[in-house]
Structure 1
Amino acid sequence: MSCKALLLSAIASGQGKTTVTAALARKLARDGQRVRVFKTGPDFIDPLLLAAASGSNVDVLDLWMCTEAQCHALLAEAARECDYLLIEGVMGLYDGMPSSADLARHFGVPVLAVLDCSAMVGTALAIARGLRDHGRLPWAGMLANRVASPGHADMIRACGTPELPVVGHLPRQAESLPERHLGLHLPSELPDLAARLDALADALQLDDAVLAALPVFTPPAMPLPPLAPLLAGKTIAIARDAAFAFLYAANLRTLTGMGATLAFFSPLADEAIPADADALWLPGGYPELHAATLAGNRRWQHSVQAFAASGKPLWAECGGMMALTESLTDTDGQSHAMAGVLPGSVRMGKKLAALGSQGWPTAAGELRGHTFHYSSFDTPLAPLAHCQRKDGRAGGEAVYRHGSVQASYFHAYFASNPAAAAALFLPPC
């Protein structure tokens, strides 16, 4: 089967790509279309919001972190089961190596430029033409965001041409999707999310003829080989709630594909680690926003202390690592006692401490992923290893080992190297 495909990008971050992608996905889904959405580049929160908008799971696409073969397999599988395939770009269209433009060119997906037109009219078309011609990309048109009035929309639309069409517009929203230091709010924190998404879909104005004229997207099938059963018979406990929400869907599939049974639990609900767990994963999230609750949840703390003392494998990344330290100081200067499994303390900062794609050289090869955090970890532990930045610059994240615990600010993308990922949850040889 085949579908229509679009990659929604812009000149920079902050143009409203996620809002427009969510509005379009919601509108198409409500019209009875089968929609699959992808997010370009490392991201945890946008996929959750786009999944709520589209009604389908959302994966990330990154030609470096996910590998070309995995991107191809994900797109081919999605094209077989949907009517519209939407890809939200990252940063600006040509930002990053590889960029959203590289992905659009590689897979032949037309680009829809989302431009903030709150202070311009015809200039937006000049920008769109520059974006298209700079890389000679397949092109779908331009969508004007944050339009001030129907008259403003008419003026922008009148500037369009058959070769550079204005596909539609989204009026300026008084209230949309709220943001904070690591991105948008989690869906679980927005009880009125469905109403917000419906309002965006209602407000989005589209030229149906332009969408109908999109070329058919039919990527050839390229299934990935089956994974080795490296985790057969193993039960992996995974923290999952508003404090530990940064989970790639591909990571969960990789673990189950290697034979693992997954058992989820909530530290925020003061739940203990499942008794039959052979290994534990504490993913990233927002422990800093829930530090007081985590500090008071004795059952959770005693459970993770006992698990670490048992010698079973424990992998903690970013927020998961923060929750294992002796204390966490939030942005208000309040210190909260954490589980105390790792010596040292974490302090939240007001500026970004690290951002970017990195790889961890392991005995099983490079495990790829990324880092994105505002806090710093002060610890007497000597690093077991350091990740390497994709661009070759120094300063990759430290990886610590303390007993059977391995921890880092590094967010691992397990599908980039399943054997290296499996080793995180197995006793060392």
Structure 2
Amino acid sequence: MPACPALFISAPASGQGKTTVTAGLTRYHRRLGRRVRVFKTGPDFLDPTILERASGAPVESLDLWMVGEDACRNLLAEAATQADLILIEGVMGLFDGTPSSADLATTFGVPVVAVISAKAMAQTFGAIAFGLAKFRPQVPFHGVFANRVGSARHAQLLQEALPPDIAWTGHMASDAAIELPDRHLGLRQADEIDDLDARLDRVADALAATALAALPPTVDFTSTSSSDAHGSPPLPRLLDGMRIAIARDAAFSFIYPANLALLETLGATIAFFSPLADEAVPTDAHALYLPGGYPELHAATLTRNTRTAASIHAHAAAKKTIVAECGGMLYLLDSLTDIDGTQTPMLGLLPGQATMQARLAALGMQQLNGRHGTLRGHTFHYTQMTTPLDPVLTATRPHAAGPAAGGESVYRSGSIVATYMHGYWPSNPAFTAALFHGATL
């Protein structure tokens, strides 16, 4: 039976320290020799890099809408057969979004611990904990953990403020040596934090003496989906024999592990290359994928790296497919202007310009409806783009109505298909295969 100790780590809001606590707890249990599998709720490319470093295993996304309940259950059931502990990090606040972290925890019966930043508060901590625990009684609420605590006396005040039926799982002091650095899209990626392992070890040390370090209750993740009961048919090898080149480095790193796994399941072989290292697209690649990331932070390097640029131009000139998402799309434009107003030439393969802005331009779940069905995904970016191209498809927001339901555009120029939307490809393998074959969407 696929059962395993499991804990859902959430919070009342973003910025409370969920990732720090989840990664530190993972490191603590790994130091004890336990196999830990970590999952991240919702669409996220940044936190999983930290959690993967802590756990030593890929971090998959769980989302009842984007991934689907059956697929989430199957991922958890598989992990339960391999791990001694499953940790799930929530997204935003416990009840934020549709579906929310609370929905996910309730669906699978995973006990929730809320990390609450206690900086600049005392007894109000108890009120916040009470609200989180009682707002929806069906949520399997386990307890609270106080982060950024100023002193032992401060911790005592926080604990005394809790109602007696809400468990105190411990606290952690405010310490710049363990905080994870961030930027405009969220936390910095694991490879960009030079002392990440030392930070994770300090968090693990701090958590070792708390009740949070104890193994949580065991959860049964037995799948009840009809597809599991009768065995899922294998996916057709829609990309059989195709070789796909994928840009992967600090500028292009927003890649779901599930997307890569799907390409291989569909029969494709994958070859990675780094535009930041001025590596060329392999000449035998049939298709090219430029994922999202941070081209705006590396624009000067990208524009200097002429070997990569020439190889992408040659790939396009040969009418081979290019699939570009968000930052990958920006790289194809005529120019990219950063937050300081510096304009940098890009590849010039897609007509248009993009400009960074201080405010978020788009955020949330979206879906594309085309001749191959519905592809689900999300959008999250700070740039505004102008282009003379007309969209071939326009995404919609599944949880909005009226004008607010409009989403990102999909553009086609020659063999290029580009959009701000990050697709979760397992949501529609046929749509994914059509993307890489350059077929009509």
Please report the TM-score for the alignment, with normalisation by the length of structure 2.
Answer: 0.94
What residue number does 1:351 align with? 359
Q: What amino acid maps onto 1:187 in structure 2?
A: A
1:237 to 215, 228, 245: 245
Give deviations 1:309-354, integer Å, cap 9, x for gaps. 1111110000000000111111111111111100111111111111
User: What is the alpha-carbon distance in structure 2 between the residues aligned to residue 203 and residue 215 of structure 1?
Assistant: 22
Instruction: Among all aligned residue pairs of Structure 1 and Structure 2, give the percentage whose two residues are the same amino acid.
Output: 55
What residue number does 2:62 align with? 61
Aligned partner of residue 118 in structure 1, secondary structure: coil
**Pairing 1:10-409 to 2, within 5 Å after superposition:** 10-136=11-137, 137-160=139-162, 163-175=165-177, 176-208=179-211, 211-212=214-215, 214-221=216-223, 223=228, 225-392=233-400, 393-409=404-420
Q: How far apart are residue 123 of structure 1 and its match?
A: 2.8
User: What is the alpha-carbon distance in structure 2 between the residues aligned to residue 184 and residue 386 of structure 1?
Assistant: 29
Contact residue 8 and residue 21 of structure 1 kept, 8 A: yes
Gaps of 5+ in 2: none
* Runs of 4+ residues deviating >6 angstroms: none
Contact residue 125 and residue 161 of structure 2 kept, 8 A: no
Give deviations 1:259-290, integer Å, cap 9, x for gaps. 11000000111111011101110000000000
Q: How much is the aligned-residue C-alpha RMSD, in angstroms?
A: 1.6
User: What is the alpha-carbon distance in structure 1 between the residues aligned to residue 282 and residue 116 of structure 2?
Assistant: 48
Aligned partner of residue 424 in structure 1, secondary structure: helix
Larger deviation, residues 113-122 vs 260-269: 113-122
Contact residue 169 and residue 205 of structure 1 kept, 8 A: no
Aligned residues: 428
Aligned partner of residue 204 in structure 1, secondary structure: helix
Q: What amino acid maps onto 2:247 in structure 1?
A: A
User: What is the alpha-carbon distance in structure 2 between the residues aligned to residue 192 and residue 390 of structure 1?
Assistant: 40
Aligned partner of residue 12 in structure 1, secondary structure: coil
Gaps of 5+ in 1: none
Q: How far apart are residue 126 of structure 1 and its match?
A: 2.9
User: What is the alpha-carbon distance in structure 2 between the residues aligned to residue 129 and residue 34 of structure 1?
Assistant: 33
User: What is the alpha-carbon distance in structure 1 between the residues aligned to residue 183 and residue 244 of structure 2?
Assistant: 31
Q: What amino acid maps onto 2:235 in structure 1?
A: L
Aligned partner of residue 396 in structure 1, secondary structure: strand
Please report the TM-score for the alignment, with normalisation by the length of structure 1.
Answer: 0.96
Larger deviation, residues 87-96 vs 387-396: 387-396
Contact residue 398 and residue 405 of structure 2 kept, 8 A: no
Give deviations 1:194-233, integer Å, cap 9, x for gaps. 1111112122255448834x32112114655432211111
User: What is the alpha-carbon distance in structure 2 between the residues aligned to residue 209 and residue 9 of structure 1?
Assistant: 13
Larger deviation, residues 195-204 vs 359-368: 195-204
Aligned partner of residue 221 in structure 2, secondary structure: coil
Aligned partner of residue 67 in structure 1, secondary structure: helix
User: What is the alpha-carbon distance in structure 2 between the residues aligned to residue 205 and residue 160 of structure 1?
Assistant: 22
Contact residue 10 and residue 112 of structure 2 kept, 8 A: yes
User: What is the alpha-carbon distance in structure 1 between the residues aligned to residue 315 and residue 141 of structure 2?
Assistant: 53
Contact residue 25 and residue 213 of structure 2 kept, 8 A: no
Contact residue 168 and residue 205 of structure 1 kept, 8 A: no
Aligned partner of residue 48 in structure 1, secondary structure: helix
